[in-house]
Structures are given as structure tokens and as C-alpha cells.
């Protein structure tokens, strides 16, 4: 039953990651005019963050479903929580300072997911 926290956290990350990937072309084009190199870098970074969110969510769900529920799983959840908090802090001081609402939501969402993973690791 405690894995429900991980399943919820993982699902939230997968959805948030997919939400990053879906509008990539539109997001990048909203920065026009920019150089080809800057467009490629922006595209790479936007896709990378989406992939990171999806990967963390999928791995967390996989560990909860098929891994042990002991110290190794707890360590994985804590490491993921730490990584998410770092990304949340980065977003707080960069993207969240823009008027874009999704950047303002991101630190709260990532911190909430981190809290779910930490809660599961302490149960």
C-alpha cells in the first residue's frame, strides 16, 4: 500500500514530462528570431528535461512494482527526490521568474513529487 505514493509521484512526473515534450516545436518557435545553434540548444534542453521527468517517474514506478521495498528502494527514492529538488530550485531562480505560468507551477509540482518519494522512503 505504501507504493501508492510512488505510483502517484511517478505518474505525475510522466505526465509532466510528456507535457514538456508535446509543445516543443511551439515553445522553441516562440523564441524566434534566434540563431540555428541557439534553436538547437533550446530544443535539446527542453526535450532533455521532459525525458528526465519521464525517466525518473518510470524508474520509480518500476522499482516500486518489481524491486525490493527495502533500503535500496529507499535510497533510489531519496536520490530522485534530491534531484527533483535541485531541478525545482533551478527553475525557481530561472524560468519561474518569467511570466510563464507553467514555469511558476514547476517548482511546486517537483517539490510535491519529491515529498511523496521522501514520505515513501521513510515509511
pLDDT tens for each residue of 34-72: 999 999 999 999 999 999 999 999 999 999 999 888 999
Distance CA 100, CA 72 (A): 38
CB distance 64 to 7 below 8 Å:
yes
Question: Residue 88 is placed in which grid cell?
Answer: 525545482
Are the C-beta atoms of 72 and 82 separated by less than 8 Å? no
pTM over 0.85: yes
| Number of neighbouring beta carbons within 10 Å of residue 38 | 12
Q: What mean pLDDT is predicted for residues 7-31? A: 94
Amino acid at each position: 500500500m505504501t507504493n501508492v505514493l510512488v505510483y502517484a509521484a511517478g505518474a505525475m512526473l510522466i505526465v509532466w514530462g510528456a507535457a514538456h515534450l508535446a509543445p516543443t516545436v511551439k515553445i522553441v518557435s516562440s523564441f524566434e528570431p534566434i540563431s540555428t545553434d541557439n534553436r538547437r540548444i533550446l530544443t535539446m534542453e527542453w526535450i532533455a528535461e521532459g525525458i528526465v521527468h519521464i525517466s525518473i517517474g518510470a524508474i520509480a514506478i518500476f522499482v516500486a512494482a518489481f524491486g525490493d521495498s527495502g533500503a535500496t528502494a529507499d535510497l533510489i527514492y531519496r536520490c530522485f527526490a534530491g534531484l527533483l529538488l535541485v531541478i525545482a530550485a533551478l527553475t525557481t531562480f530561472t524560468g519561474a521568474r518569467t511570466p510563464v505560468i507553467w514555469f511558476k507551477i514547476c517548482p511546486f509540482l517537483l517539490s510535491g513529487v519529491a515529498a511523496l518519494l521522501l514520505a515513501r522512503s521513510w515509511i
